[in-house]
A and B are shown apart, each in its own frame.
Chain A
Amino acid sequence: MILNQIFDAINLGIVILDTDLKIQKWNRWMEIHSGIEADEVVGKHALESFPNLDTPKFIRSCKSVFSFGNFCFFSQKLHGYLFPFKSSSYVGSEFEYMQQSCAMGPLRDENNEIKYLFIYVQDVTEVAVYEQKLVEMNMRDGLTGIYNRRFMDTKLNEEYFRHKRYGRPFSIVIIWTSMRGLYSEIGEFENFCCYTEYRLFVPVWRGGILLHAS
């Protein structure tokens, strides 16, 4: 009885699946954030109720938990979310769905055999929003709002590795537009400031990215 109370009071989503990946338990947190009552999903196959879970990574993780009893982790950074719950925050969020940090682990019976797995779901939307803002601030020029030199270096590295992985052509076109003789409007500089604008295109499928360096 006490465990049941904890199960439903805890500020974490908990889902329990059996070896056929059917939902056996769906706690109160999951009901509230999904809008789906436990009765509606318990007994149903997880992949039918949530088709977005039907990925090689999720299935591999379930198999490894049932085979080895290890824990599997699903970070917000790469997965975004496991369960597509609409963002419940009224404070500005750029994410359509709740961002989640999840983990999966084994549940054993009295003979120590793994009969179920649990998935816990943590809402990390707020943290993800702050992180996103920090990344933006780090990659954009504060005055003009366009991408800065750090962004170019990061993107160049990424696209170069992508080119190496997939073996597709890779080229860079840089067009200089020099605008000399502009004074800074910030006020404190006495010296002559030069602004040079770079336009950098990363080809293949990504399209163009405007950035600024001075």
Chain B
Amino acid sequence: MIKKILIVDDSPIARKMLKSCLPKDQGYEFHEAGDGKEGCEKYTQVRPDITFMDLTMPVMTGYEAIEEIVKNDITALIIVVTADVQMKAIKRVLDLGAYMVLKKPLKREEIQSVLLKVQDTLQKAE
């Protein structure tokens, strides 16, 4: 059951766009962070069910944040959201432990389908 969602992106507009794609009637608890370092701190505090992570951020990049989070919680479910989907970048984040990569700009239907898949994964884990 997805309850807590953490969105890590340095662009407030990107965070707004992502939130708007997520269903409003599921009672999700949203948490946000503006850079990778803040994202790691929030993760430790909140322990979200899903983390949406941008890659190019100041202070600490998405790559570094994924590595840090996965190091402390191997079960972390991190979905990378990026405009740059070059194979090298995708491979790198998946090797670091990301769950999947989504391409910006996001579409509502795509997010719905991802949430169903994640829900399924979480239920199997339980």
Direct contact between the two chains A and B in their complex (CB within 8 A): no
